[in-house]
Structure 1
Amino acid sequence: MKILVVSDTHGRDENFEQAVMQEAPFDMLIHCGDVEGREIFIEALTECPCHIVSGNNDFFSDLPREEIVEAGNNRIFVTHGHYYGVSMDITGVIDEAKDRGCNAVFFGHTHKPLLETIDGVLALNPGSLTYPRQRGRRPSYAIVNLDQTGHLTAELKHL
Protein backbone atom coordinates (compact mmCIF):
# COMPACT_ATOMS: atom_id res chain seq x y z
CA MET A 1 0.00 0.00 0.00
CA LYS A 2 1.25 3.46 -0.95
CA ILE A 3 0.03 6.54 0.95
CA LEU A 4 0.57 10.15 -0.14
CA VAL A 5 0.82 12.43 2.91
CA VAL A 6 0.53 16.20 2.52
CA SER A 7 -0.22 19.23 4.67
CA ASP A 8 -0.65 22.97 4.62
CA THR A 9 -1.74 23.43 1.01
CA HIS A 10 -3.71 26.55 2.04
CA GLY A 11 -6.21 26.47 -0.82
CA ARG A 12 -3.56 26.58 -3.52
CA ASP A 13 -3.62 23.58 -5.81
CA GLU A 14 -0.72 23.81 -8.28
CA ASN A 15 1.98 22.05 -6.23
CA PHE A 16 -0.56 19.59 -4.81
CA GLU A 17 -1.58 18.62 -8.35
CA GLN A 18 2.09 18.18 -9.28
CA ALA A 19 2.71 15.89 -6.29
CA VAL A 20 -0.37 13.83 -7.17
CA MET A 21 0.77 13.44 -10.79
CA GLN A 22 4.32 12.52 -9.75
CA GLU A 23 3.22 9.89 -7.24
CA ALA A 24 0.18 8.32 -8.90
CA PRO A 25 -0.93 5.66 -8.47
CA PHE A 26 -1.32 5.58 -4.70
CA ASP A 27 -3.88 3.87 -2.49
CA MET A 28 -4.68 6.55 0.06
CA LEU A 29 -4.23 10.26 0.70
CA ILE A 30 -3.76 11.74 4.15
CA HIS A 31 -3.92 15.54 4.44
CA CYS A 32 -2.83 16.97 7.80
CA GLY A 33 -4.88 20.15 7.58
CA ASP A 34 -5.06 23.70 6.32
CA VAL A 35 -6.88 22.85 3.07
CA GLU A 36 -8.87 26.11 3.26
CA GLY A 37 -12.02 24.84 1.60
CA ARG A 38 -10.44 22.64 -1.06
CA GLU A 39 -11.36 19.23 0.39
CA ILE A 40 -13.89 18.41 -2.37
CA PHE A 41 -11.32 19.23 -5.06
CA ILE A 42 -8.66 17.16 -3.26
CA GLU A 43 -10.96 14.14 -2.97
CA ALA A 44 -11.99 14.40 -6.64
CA LEU A 45 -8.43 14.75 -7.91
CA THR A 46 -7.00 11.80 -6.00
CA GLU A 47 -9.77 9.25 -6.71
CA CYS A 48 -8.80 7.15 -3.67
CA PRO A 49 -9.75 7.05 0.00
CA CYS A 50 -8.92 10.41 1.57
CA HIS A 51 -8.44 11.30 5.22
CA ILE A 52 -8.39 15.07 5.74
CA VAL A 53 -8.31 16.80 9.13
CA SER A 54 -8.88 20.47 9.85
CA GLY A 55 -6.08 22.88 10.55
CA ASN A 56 -5.94 26.22 12.32
CA ASN A 57 -6.85 27.99 9.04
CA ASP A 58 -9.83 25.78 8.20
CA PHE A 59 -12.44 28.16 9.58
CA PHE A 60 -16.08 26.99 9.56
CA SER A 61 -14.99 23.57 8.31
CA ASP A 62 -16.85 20.32 8.90
CA LEU A 63 -13.57 18.38 8.71
CA PRO A 64 -12.68 16.36 11.80
CA ARG A 65 -10.15 17.88 14.18
CA GLU A 66 -8.20 14.61 14.20
CA GLU A 67 -8.60 11.04 13.06
CA ILE A 68 -7.16 7.60 13.64
CA VAL A 69 -6.45 5.84 10.34
CA GLU A 70 -5.91 2.11 10.28
CA ALA A 71 -3.55 0.75 7.64
CA GLY A 72 -2.78 -2.92 7.96
CA ASN A 73 -1.95 -3.51 11.61
CA ASN A 74 -0.91 0.14 12.08
CA ARG A 75 -2.85 2.86 13.85
CA ILE A 76 -1.97 6.34 12.61
CA PHE A 77 -2.99 9.40 14.62
CA VAL A 78 -3.64 12.23 12.13
CA THR A 79 -3.85 15.80 13.42
CA HIS A 80 -2.82 19.25 12.29
CA GLY A 81 -0.78 19.58 15.47
CA HIS A 82 -1.56 23.10 16.64
CA TYR A 83 -3.55 21.80 19.64
CA TYR A 84 -0.43 19.92 20.77
CA GLY A 85 2.12 22.74 20.49
CA VAL A 86 4.12 21.11 17.68
CA SER A 87 5.72 24.44 16.80
CA MET A 88 7.62 24.27 20.08
CA ASP A 89 7.98 20.54 20.82
CA ILE A 90 6.46 17.33 19.46
CA THR A 91 6.44 15.50 22.80
CA GLY A 92 2.74 16.28 23.34
CA VAL A 93 1.61 14.86 20.02
CA ILE A 94 3.81 11.77 20.52
CA ASP A 95 2.27 11.21 23.97
CA GLU A 96 -1.23 11.61 22.55
CA ALA A 97 -0.52 9.06 19.81
CA LYS A 98 0.76 6.58 22.41
CA ASP A 99 -2.25 7.22 24.66
CA ARG A 100 -4.51 6.35 21.72
CA GLY A 101 -2.63 3.13 20.96
CA CYS A 102 -1.09 4.47 17.75
CA ASN A 103 2.32 3.55 16.41
CA ALA A 104 2.49 6.58 14.09
CA VAL A 105 1.47 10.24 14.12
CA PHE A 106 1.15 12.41 11.02
CA PHE A 107 0.84 16.16 11.56
CA GLY A 108 1.51 19.51 9.92
CA HIS A 109 1.28 23.14 11.07
CA THR A 110 4.99 23.98 11.20
CA HIS A 111 5.48 23.88 7.41
CA LYS A 112 8.78 22.07 8.12
CA PRO A 113 9.25 18.42 7.14
CA LEU A 114 10.17 15.99 9.90
CA LEU A 115 10.61 12.23 9.97
CA GLU A 116 11.81 10.41 13.06
CA THR A 117 10.85 7.63 15.44
CA ILE A 118 10.41 8.65 19.07
CA ASP A 119 9.50 6.17 21.81
CA GLY A 120 8.41 3.65 19.17
CA VAL A 121 6.13 6.15 17.39
CA LEU A 122 6.83 7.14 13.77
CA ALA A 123 6.45 10.94 13.71
CA LEU A 124 5.90 12.42 10.25
CA ASN A 125 5.35 16.01 9.23
CA PRO A 126 5.31 16.23 5.41
CA GLY A 127 6.01 19.97 5.50
CA SER A 128 4.08 22.30 3.21
CA LEU A 129 3.47 22.13 -0.52
CA THR A 130 2.56 25.81 -0.60
CA TYR A 131 4.49 27.80 2.01
CA PRO A 132 7.58 25.79 3.04
CA ARG A 133 9.57 27.19 5.96
CA GLN A 134 12.58 24.90 6.18
CA ARG A 135 16.03 25.84 4.92
CA GLY A 136 15.90 26.04 1.12
CA ARG A 137 12.11 26.46 1.25
CA ARG A 138 11.35 23.59 -1.16
CA PRO A 139 7.73 22.39 -1.25
CA SER A 140 7.56 18.97 0.40
CA TYR A 141 5.34 15.95 0.98
CA ALA A 142 5.81 12.35 2.09
CA ILE A 143 5.27 8.86 0.74
CA VAL A 144 4.47 6.11 3.21
CA ASN A 145 4.64 2.49 2.14
CA LEU A 146 3.13 -0.46 3.91
CA ASP A 147 4.85 -3.76 3.05
CA GLN A 148 3.32 -7.27 3.13
CA THR A 149 4.27 -7.71 6.78
CA GLY A 150 2.49 -4.47 7.73
CA HIS A 151 5.68 -2.49 8.37
CA LEU A 152 5.45 1.27 7.65
CA THR A 153 8.30 3.08 5.95
CA ALA A 154 8.25 6.76 5.07
CA GLU A 155 10.21 9.04 2.79
CA LEU A 156 10.17 12.84 2.61
CA LYS A 157 10.11 14.18 -0.95
CA HIS A 158 10.42 17.62 -2.55
CA LEU A 159 9.10 19.18 -5.72
Structure 2
Amino acid sequence: MKILIVSDTHGQEKNLEEVLKKEEPIDALIHLGDLEGGEDFISTHVKCPVYLVSGNNDFFCSLPREREITLGKYKVLITHGHYYYVSLGVEELRRQAVARGYQVAMFGHTHKPYLETKDGVTILNPGSLSYPRQEGRRPSYMIMDIDEAGEAHYTQKYL
Protein backbone atom coordinates (compact mmCIF):
# COMPACT_ATOMS: atom_id res chain seq x y z
CA MET A 1 0.00 0.00 0.00
CA LYS A 2 1.47 3.34 -1.09
CA ILE A 3 0.29 6.45 0.76
CA LEU A 4 1.24 9.95 -0.36
CA ILE A 5 1.52 12.40 2.56
CA VAL A 6 1.58 16.14 1.89
CA SER A 7 0.97 19.36 3.80
CA ASP A 8 0.92 23.12 3.56
CA THR A 9 0.18 23.57 -0.13
CA HIS A 10 -1.57 26.90 0.61
CA GLY A 11 -3.68 26.83 -2.55
CA GLN A 12 -0.64 26.37 -4.80
CA GLU A 13 -1.36 23.11 -6.63
CA LYS A 14 1.45 23.11 -9.23
CA ASN A 15 3.88 21.08 -7.10
CA LEU A 16 1.12 18.79 -5.85
CA GLU A 17 0.12 18.07 -9.44
CA GLU A 18 3.77 17.25 -10.25
CA VAL A 19 4.04 14.91 -7.26
CA LEU A 20 0.80 13.13 -8.15
CA LYS A 21 2.10 12.43 -11.67
CA LYS A 22 5.52 11.37 -10.37
CA GLU A 23 4.20 9.00 -7.68
CA GLU A 24 1.18 7.43 -9.40
CA PRO A 25 -0.33 5.04 -8.73
CA ILE A 26 -1.05 5.73 -5.07
CA ASP A 27 -3.48 3.92 -2.78
CA ALA A 28 -4.31 6.91 -0.56
CA LEU A 29 -3.56 10.62 -0.16
CA ILE A 30 -3.23 12.38 3.17
CA HIS A 31 -3.13 16.19 3.31
CA LEU A 32 -2.24 17.60 6.72
CA GLY A 33 -3.82 21.01 6.36
CA ASP A 34 -3.40 24.51 5.02
CA LEU A 35 -4.97 23.56 1.71
CA GLU A 36 -6.52 27.03 1.34
CA GLY A 37 -9.13 25.84 -1.13
CA GLY A 38 -7.09 22.99 -2.59
CA GLU A 39 -9.87 20.53 -1.72
CA ASP A 40 -11.46 21.16 -5.13
CA PHE A 41 -8.21 20.42 -6.96
CA ILE A 42 -7.74 17.19 -4.97
CA SER A 43 -11.31 16.03 -5.55
CA THR A 44 -10.89 16.36 -9.33
CA HIS A 45 -7.32 14.98 -9.62
CA VAL A 46 -7.19 12.11 -7.14
CA LYS A 47 -9.10 8.85 -7.61
CA CYS A 48 -8.03 7.03 -4.42
CA PRO A 49 -9.18 7.48 -0.81
CA VAL A 50 -8.32 10.99 0.45
CA TYR A 51 -7.94 12.09 4.07
CA LEU A 52 -7.89 15.84 4.74
CA VAL A 53 -7.70 17.98 7.87
CA SER A 54 -7.88 21.73 8.26
CA GLY A 55 -4.93 23.91 9.09
CA ASN A 56 -4.61 27.27 10.81
CA ASN A 57 -5.06 29.04 7.44
CA ASP A 58 -8.11 27.03 6.33
CA PHE A 59 -10.77 29.55 7.23
CA PHE A 60 -14.45 28.89 6.52
CA CYS A 61 -13.97 25.25 5.57
CA SER A 62 -15.78 22.22 6.94
CA LEU A 63 -12.72 19.98 7.27
CA PRO A 64 -12.10 18.46 10.70
CA ARG A 65 -9.12 19.72 12.69
CA GLU A 66 -7.93 16.13 13.21
CA ARG A 67 -8.92 12.63 12.14
CA GLU A 68 -8.29 9.10 13.23
CA ILE A 69 -7.72 6.71 10.35
CA THR A 70 -6.51 3.13 9.99
CA LEU A 71 -3.78 2.28 7.50
CA GLY A 72 -3.09 -1.42 7.48
CA LYS A 73 -2.58 -2.39 11.12
CA TYR A 74 -1.76 1.17 12.17
CA LYS A 75 -4.04 3.49 14.11
CA VAL A 76 -3.08 6.93 12.79
CA LEU A 77 -3.76 10.47 14.02
CA ILE A 78 -3.68 13.12 11.31
CA THR A 79 -3.64 16.77 12.36
CA HIS A 80 -2.18 20.06 11.20
CA GLY A 81 -0.46 20.27 14.57
CA HIS A 82 -0.96 23.85 15.65
CA TYR A 83 -3.31 22.76 18.47
CA TYR A 84 -0.43 20.62 19.77
CA TYR A 85 2.07 23.50 19.65
CA VAL A 86 4.34 21.64 17.21
CA SER A 87 6.23 24.85 16.44
CA LEU A 88 7.74 24.44 19.90
CA GLY A 89 8.38 20.68 19.53
CA VAL A 90 6.52 17.39 19.20
CA GLU A 91 6.36 16.47 22.89
CA GLU A 92 2.65 17.28 23.36
CA LEU A 93 1.70 15.52 20.14
CA ARG A 94 3.70 12.45 21.19
CA ARG A 95 2.17 12.50 24.69
CA GLN A 96 -1.34 12.62 23.23
CA ALA A 97 -0.57 9.92 20.64
CA VAL A 98 0.76 7.55 23.31
CA ALA A 99 -2.16 8.26 25.67
CA ARG A 100 -4.74 7.73 22.91
CA GLY A 101 -3.19 4.53 21.52
CA TYR A 102 -1.90 5.75 18.15
CA GLN A 103 1.04 4.07 16.45
CA VAL A 104 1.52 6.97 14.02
CA ALA A 105 0.88 10.71 14.34
CA MET A 106 1.20 12.94 11.27
CA PHE A 107 1.35 16.72 11.36
CA GLY A 108 2.19 19.74 9.20
CA HIS A 109 2.31 23.43 10.16
CA THR A 110 6.09 23.86 10.59
CA HIS A 111 6.86 23.42 6.86
CA LYS A 112 9.87 21.29 7.89
CA PRO A 113 10.25 17.53 7.31
CA TYR A 114 10.38 15.43 10.46
CA LEU A 115 10.46 11.69 11.13
CA GLU A 116 11.11 9.99 14.46
CA THR A 117 9.96 6.82 16.19
CA LYS A 118 10.02 6.92 19.99
CA ASP A 119 7.88 5.45 22.77
CA GLY A 120 6.22 3.16 20.20
CA VAL A 121 4.90 6.08 18.11
CA THR A 122 6.14 7.31 14.75
CA ILE A 123 5.77 11.08 14.46
CA LEU A 124 6.15 12.57 11.00
CA ASN A 125 5.83 15.77 9.03
CA PRO A 126 6.24 15.70 5.23
CA GLY A 127 7.25 19.38 5.10
CA SER A 128 5.64 21.79 2.66
CA LEU A 129 5.15 21.47 -1.08
CA SER A 130 4.70 25.23 -1.50
CA TYR A 131 6.67 27.13 1.15
CA PRO A 132 9.44 24.93 2.58
CA ARG A 133 11.36 26.27 5.57
CA GLN A 134 14.08 23.67 6.11
CA GLU A 135 17.68 24.23 5.06
CA GLY A 136 17.85 24.24 1.26
CA ARG A 137 14.12 25.08 1.07
CA ARG A 138 13.20 22.28 -1.32
CA PRO A 139 9.50 21.39 -1.59
CA SER A 140 8.96 18.08 0.20
CA TYR A 141 6.51 15.27 0.79
CA MET A 142 6.58 11.77 2.25
CA ILE A 143 5.64 8.28 1.10
CA MET A 144 4.39 5.68 3.57
CA ASP A 145 4.69 2.17 2.13
CA ILE A 146 3.04 -0.71 3.93
CA ASP A 147 4.71 -3.89 2.73
CA GLU A 148 3.17 -7.35 2.30
CA ALA A 149 4.13 -8.23 5.89
CA GLY A 150 2.12 -5.20 7.07
CA GLU A 151 5.16 -3.15 8.14
CA ALA A 152 5.33 0.57 7.40
CA HIS A 153 8.33 2.18 5.73
CA TYR A 154 8.72 5.94 5.28
CA THR A 155 10.59 7.81 2.56
CA GLN A 156 11.17 11.56 2.66
CA LYS A 157 11.13 12.98 -0.87
CA TYR A 158 11.94 16.34 -2.45
CA LEU A 159 11.11 18.08 -5.72
Same fold per superposition (TM over 0.5): yes
Q: Does 1:154 align with 2:154?
A: yes
Superposed displacement of residue 95, structure 1 = 1.3
Q: Does 1:89 align with 2:92?
A: no
Superposed displacement of residue 149, structure 1 = 2.1
TM-score, normalisation: structure 1: 0.98
Superposed displacement of residue 34, structure 1 = 0.2
Question: 1:8, 1:32 within 8 Å by CA — same for their partners in 2?
Answer: yes
Any idea what the Cα deviations from partners look like across 1:99-156, whole Å, max 9, x if unmatched? 2211001100000001111211111100000000000000000000011222111110
Stretches of structure 2 that go unaligned for 5 or more consecutive residues are none
Any idea what the Cα deviations from partners look like across 1:42-92, whole Å, max 9, x if unmatched? 122111100000000000110011001101110110000000010111011
Aligned counterparts of 1:32 and 1:112: Cα–Cα separation in 2: 13
- Residue of structure 1 in register with 2:72 after alignment: 72
- SS of the counterpart of 1:51? strand
CA RMSD of aligned residues (A): 0.8
Q: Does 1:13 align with 2:17?
A: no
- Residue of structure 2 in register with 1:127 after alignment: 127
Stretches of structure 1 that go unaligned for 5 or more consecutive residues are none
Deviates more, 1:98-107 or 1:132-141: 98-107
- Residue of structure 1 in register with 2:35 after alignment: 35
Question: 1:34, 1:55 within 8 Å by CA — same for their partners in 2?
Answer: yes
Superposed displacement of residue 28, structure 1 = 0.1
- Residue of structure 2 in register with 1:59 after alignment: 59
- Residue of structure 2 in register with 1:111 after alignment: 111
Question: 1:5, 1:141 within 8 Å by CA — same for their partners in 2?
Answer: yes
Aligned counterparts of 1:61 and 1:16: Cα–Cα separation in 2: 20
TM-score, normalisation: structure 2: 0.98
Q: Percent identity?
A: 53
Task: State the AA in 2 paired with 1:112.
Answer: K
